[in-house]
Amino acid sequence: MDLIIARDRRELAEARTKLGLTGGPGAPTLALVPTMGALHEGHLSLVRLAKKHADLVAVSIFVNPLQFGPGEDFDRYPRTFEADVAACRAEGVDLIFAPSADVMYPPDRQVGVSSGRMGTIVEGHFRPGHFDGVLTVVLKLFNLIRPDVAVFGQKDAQQLAMIRRMVADLDVPVRIVGAPIVREPDGLAMSSRNRYLSPEEREIALALSRALREGAARRTPSEIVAATRAVLDAAPLQVDYVVLADPATFEEVGEDHAGEAVLAVAARVGTTRLIDNVTVTLPPPGE
């Protein structure tokens, strides 16, 4: 069956029927890859992973206004729908859901999802309300598309942690799968925002992945953070944060932390804000 494109609730319901997504015995399983479009190899790697976890794959394409704050790049966020459709078709995607803002949000909308404390720290500190918008749209997509599985990239590590928390706290019947970060050959994490960078800015942006490699080579939390920040401070960019965080809560870990932690950074290169992270494993103190 050819790729189906649905733009509203009626078309989505018709698509689910065509795909046999009845929910009954023997019905196919569905994996969802939520995106804001401008698809690149990182997104397509999520699609390939999704195909391993379900019979059918849906991709949502929606630039969500709720997760952009004042002065952010909502208006200039890249929109490349025709190219996105071609990429999805080439990857064997079964369904694209591409609603408008009017379809997703009624004009009298009042209720949304609160991201709690985790939504106010690290990335949430610099983007107030961002995670409320993310969780609200993700929950709506889950309710509309009704996937069995949803795949999210590790590049947005705090977002992934918060979606796992929402699913657990609200008893949402969707299994969350995290996917590894996909990088360019030179180490830059793939992002739709990379296209904003000039050649000179792109070279500067490599400091993020270089800083993470330097930090990950250290052994204690303070050494990891100091080494990471030293690389970023030496580059002509504006650092928002360097944090070593618990992967489940995104609270900053202490010197006695052992096991996995997420080393996360955010910085502005020119007018473009980039994030990146790496997972590190800390030995018990004294080892």
Does residue 38 have a known ligand-binding role? yes
Does residue 40 have a known ligand-binding role? yes
**What's the one-letter identity of residue 241?**
Y
Does residue 67 have a known ligand-binding role? yes
Does residue 87 have a known ligand-binding role? no
Q: Which of 43, 53, 125, 257 is catalytic?
A: 43
Does residue 190 have a known ligand-binding role? yes
Does residue 158 have a known ligand-binding role? no
CA distance 71 to 131: 17
| Residue 63: partners with Cβ closer than 8 Å, 6 or more residues away | 36, 37, 74, 77, 79
Reference 243, options 211, 268, 204; nearest CA is: 211
What does each C-alpha distance from 3 to 87, 88, 126, 136 come to in angstroms? 11, 8, 38, 27
Does residue 125 have a known ligand-binding role? no
53 catalytic per annotation? no
Does residue 156 have a known ligand-binding role? yes
| Residue 38: partners with Cβ closer than 8 Å, 6 or more residues away | 77, 78, 79, 80, 84, 192, 195
Does residue 1 have a known ligand-binding role? no
**Residue length, the chain?**
287
Does residue 166 have a known ligand-binding role? no
Does residue 191 have a known ligand-binding role? yes
% helix, strand, coil for the chain, step of 5: 40, 20, 40
> Packing angle between helix 130-145 and helix 9-18, nearest 10 degrees?
50
Does residue 18 have a known ligand-binding role? no
Residues with catalytic annotation?
A: 43
Residues at the annotated binding site for beta-alanine? 67
Residues at the annotated binding site for ATP? 36-43, 153-156, 182, 190-193
Residues at the annotated binding site for (R)-pantoate? 67, 159
Residues at the annotated binding site? 36-43, 67, 153-156, 159, 182, 190-193
